[in-house]
């Protein structure tokens, strides 16, 4: 497996579309014609004018001669970086560094796959799921997507579109919102995963979200005898436990 070298590209923001709950779908086109090769699950950094870099998972699966990239970016009014970033996106030209990250699929394992995503953690999972679904040899795939409210599932129809006898979608709302008419599962995301232990034990497990969410999920799964060596996340590399 080849790890591709990181390079810097200047890009045009071809589309900036508000989906839901402050999450935007961003489409980038590179002035160089094609994006560098990357693996499903990797991320890029958008370099701000002051040199600071913001990381975002690449939501599109890799294809040869990639002309467009999709990102899912949450606008955070409390974050200076996020405000600077959206100013740059609205102006239409940005600089990116890619590919980054060691939590990816270079090929589809001959094992069931479990993807656990909080909020925009869905972006990384979308790339790996679409890559896996294209491979006829894939085993069962489970997506656990967690959000505080049903509106947090900012692409609600896509996992339903993926559904098949081998793709299983488990949306989980963390706040009990009877008034919102949510009839699905609610509670903590890792509790839903543990409830399904018999179904998914022995799978390769990928977790995406904040470091706090990833470590809480990892600890809960390991305490229930899921094997640590089968659990993967970028967080283990960029925010190691001291």
Least distance between ligand FAD and beta carbon 235 (Å): 7
Q: Which stretch binds ligand FAD (CB under 6 A): 54-62, 89-97, 150-158, 197-205?
A: 54-62
Residue closest to ligand FAD, measured at CB? 210
Nearer to ligand FAD, 6 or 55 (CB): 55
# residues near ligand FAD by CB under 6 A: 20
Least distance between ligand FAD and beta carbon 159 (Å): 16
**Residue 120 near ligand FAD by CB under 6 A:** yes
In the β-sheet with 53-57, what is the strand arrangement from edge to edge?
53-57, 43-47, 93-100, 7-20, 23-30, 68-74
Identify whether the C-beta of residue 192 lies closer than 8 Å to the C-beta of residue 170. Answer: yes
What's the rounded Cα separation, in Å, for the pair 4 and 237? 17
Nearer to ligand FAD, 138 or 147 (CB): 147
Identify whether the C-beta of residue 224 lies closer than 8 Å to the C-beta of residue 217. Answer: no
CA distance between the termini of the chain? 30
Nearer to ligand FAD, 44 or 114 (CB): 44
Least distance between ligand FAD and beta carbon 138 (Å): 23
**Residue 79 near ligand FAD by CB under 6 A:** yes
**Residue 56 near ligand FAD by CB under 6 A:** yes
Count of C-beta atoms within a 10 Å radius of residue 115: 24
Q: What is the DSSP string of 89-138?
A: HHHTEEEEEEEE-S--BSS--SS-EEEEEEGGGHHHHHHHHHHHHTSTT-
**Residue 150 near ligand FAD by CB under 6 A:** no
C-alpha dist (Å) from residue 123 to 23, 35, 169, 222: 11, 18, 15, 25
C-alpha dist (Å) from residue 39 to 15, 22, 58, 130, 237: 23, 27, 9, 12, 17
Q: Which of 62, 209, 231, 232 binds ligand FAD (CB under 6 A)?
A: 209
**Residue 159 near ligand FAD by CB under 6 A:** no
**Residue 234 near ligand FAD by CB under 6 A:** yes
Nearer to ligand FAD, 121 or 146 (CB): 121
Least distance between ligand FAD and beta carbon 81 (Å): 4
Point out which residues bind ligand FAD (CB under 6 A): 43, 54-57, 72-74, 76, 79, 81-82, 120-121, 123, 208-210, 234, 238
């Amino acid at each position: 497996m080849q790890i591709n070298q990181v390079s810097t590209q200047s890009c045009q923001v071809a589309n900036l579309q508000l989906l839901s709950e402050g999450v935007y779908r961003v489409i980038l086109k590179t002035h160089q014609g094609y994006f560098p090769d990357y693996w499903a699950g990797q991320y890029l950094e958008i370099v701000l004018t002051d040199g600071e870099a913001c990381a975002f998972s690449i939501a599109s699966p890799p294809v040869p001669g990639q002309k467009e990239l999709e990102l899912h970016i949450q606008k955070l009014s409390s974050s200076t970086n996020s405000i600077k970033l959206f100013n740059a996106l609205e102006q239409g030209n940005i600089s990116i560094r890619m590919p980054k990250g060691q939590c990816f699929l270079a090929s589809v394992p001959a094992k069931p796959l479990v993807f656990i995503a909080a909020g925009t953690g869905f972006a990384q999972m979308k790339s790996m799921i679409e890559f896996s679904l294209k491979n006829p040899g894939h085993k069962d795939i489970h997506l656990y997507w967690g959000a505080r409210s049903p509106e947090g599932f900012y692409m609600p129809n896509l996992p339903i579109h993926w559904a098949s006898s081998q793709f299983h979608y488990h949306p989980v709302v963390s706040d009990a919102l009877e008034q919102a008419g949510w009839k699905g599962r609610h509670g903590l995301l890792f509790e839903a995963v543990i409830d399904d232990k018999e179904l998914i034990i022995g799978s390769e497990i990928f977790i995406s979200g904040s470091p706090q969410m990833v470590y809480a999920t990892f600890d809960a799964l390991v305490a229930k005898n899921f094997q640590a060596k089968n659990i993967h996340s970028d967080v283990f590399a960029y925010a190691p436990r001291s």
